[in-house]
Amino acid sequence: MHALSIPAVLLRLCASMALGAAIGLERESSGQAAGLRTHISVALGAALFGLISIGGFDHFVGPRERTTYQVDVTRVASQVVVGIGFIGGGAIVKTGGIVRGLTTAGSLWVTAAVGLALGLGMYAAAGIATSGLLLGLVGLRQPRRWLRRRTRPMLSADGAHWAYSGPGRIGSRRRPRPGNDPRYVLGIDIGGSGIKGAPVELHQGRLLTRRHRVHTPHPADPDAIAGAVAEIVHHFAWDQTVGCTFPGPVVDGVALSGVHLHHDWVNTNPRQVFQAAIGCPVGTVLNDADAALLAELHHGAARTHPGLVAMVTFGTGIGTSLSSRGVLVPNTELANIDIDGVPAAERASNRARKQRRLTWQQWADAANAYLQRLEALVHPELIIIGGGVSQHHQEFTHLLQTTAVVVPASLGNNAGIAGAALGVVANDGVDRVHQ
């Protein structure tokens, strides 16, 4: 670095790390995979490339008559712009019909530009760009949520706008209603920590809008859960068929346990409880793991698999479901397995991982102990990992040691919502809905 002193180099590199950290911290707090460390690395690397551009080729640059070397120092900067596209592309994930990570990919691209600007000594431009990006990421978060709640564009399979657009439209006093369209069902997934729902387009199993989530009330007795379900139904101004999941076995419409909710659920009919609370038809209430596997059978990882498939959902607890030759085997609860005398859910659930602050390696060790016991019982050929932990599958899939092939749920943590909706028409055949 002939043109710059060591303090100047240090200042620019440290500044790039600081501004990269400011952007990455926001992404980290939003739960994105490309967070603090990724953005610091991108900014620091881009800054270093900028320093190389302006000072790394001094001994190659000279009058034409004295050297045969001619260097275009801007080429390094242009390759940073091209190369950052590969990192940004890796942050974009398509799950079912939902594309995630576009904002993070854009922030990585801007972070590279900020680092390059700092490497070239353009402090003011870098500061202004960072402020503008953070304003867009943080300052516009609430207005964006408000706008989405007001508009909620809904698309059908052929891309045409559906008549329903959520609770109220901008500039309109009239609240639109979804109408009676059999292609769409509101799916609601009930879990031990959260209850989430969204309208589902049955042909592709995709969510038509951002899901709405409420915390599971405590105590989680039938009246409280029914009230939370009603809140989701009213949020979407829904008046046609609803499909729900339940975190436990449901046989002939009757809940056999309420282990993750309340003991008052035992021997109740969840479908009747929900239907009385929401005032519109409830087509079905499925075991939550069964619903997730149903969605994967029709639209996800198990769609073309001819053998025995096990679905394992790691969430507040552990849920399991099996299918053989594409046919769901309902209520195959295989979660009540002890690991060294301790229930598996207390060691390997996503809630246990968070409460015990386990590293991914530590959690994978517990998950391996459970999965290996599961394999000894049923010998699945494919294991699909779902539940809340599935959104972090890049962190742990390579750490799992099983005989069966292990893949994350293609529909991610939305598989339960999609399966709840598909369950409404499962008895009539989803193929009929496709037609």
Q: For residue range 43-65, what is the model confidence (pLDDT) as tens digits?
A: 777 877 777 777 655 655 555 55
| DSSP run (H or E) holding 100 | strand 98-100
Per the model's pLDDT, the better-predicted residue between 196 and 206 turns out to be 196
Which structure tokens are listed for 24?
């990455």
**What tens digit of pLDDT does each residue of 294-338 get?**
999 998 888 888 899 999 999 888 989 999 988 888 888 888 788
Other C-beta atoms closer than 10 Å to the C-beta of 302 total 25
- Count CA atoms closer than 13 A to 136's CA, side-chain side: 11
CA distance 175 to 399: 50
**What tens digit of pLDDT does each residue of 216-264 get?**
998 889 999 999 999 999 999 898 889 999 988 899 889 888 777 888 9
pTM above 0.75, yes or no: no
Which structure tokens are listed for 206?
């995709």
How sure is the predictor about 161, in pLDDT bands with cuts at 50, 70 and 90? very low
CATH pick for 184-287 out of 3.40.50.720, 3.60.10.10, 3.30.420.40, 3.40.50.11540: 3.30.420.40
**What tens digit of pLDDT does each residue of 175-189 get?**
334 445 678 899 999
User: Cα angle vertex 70, ends 69, 76, to 5°?
Assistant: 115
- What residue ranges of the chain are covered by domains with CATH 3.30.420.40? 184-287, 301-409
- Exposure letters 33-68 (e unless 16+ CB within 10 A, then b): bbbbebbbbbbbbbbbbbbebbbbeeeeeeeeeeee
What is the dihedral angle through the alpha carbons of 251, 255, 259, 262, rounded to the nearest 10 degrees? 180
The DSSP output letter for 137 is I
Question: Is domain 301-409 annotated with CATH 1.10.357.10?
Answer: no
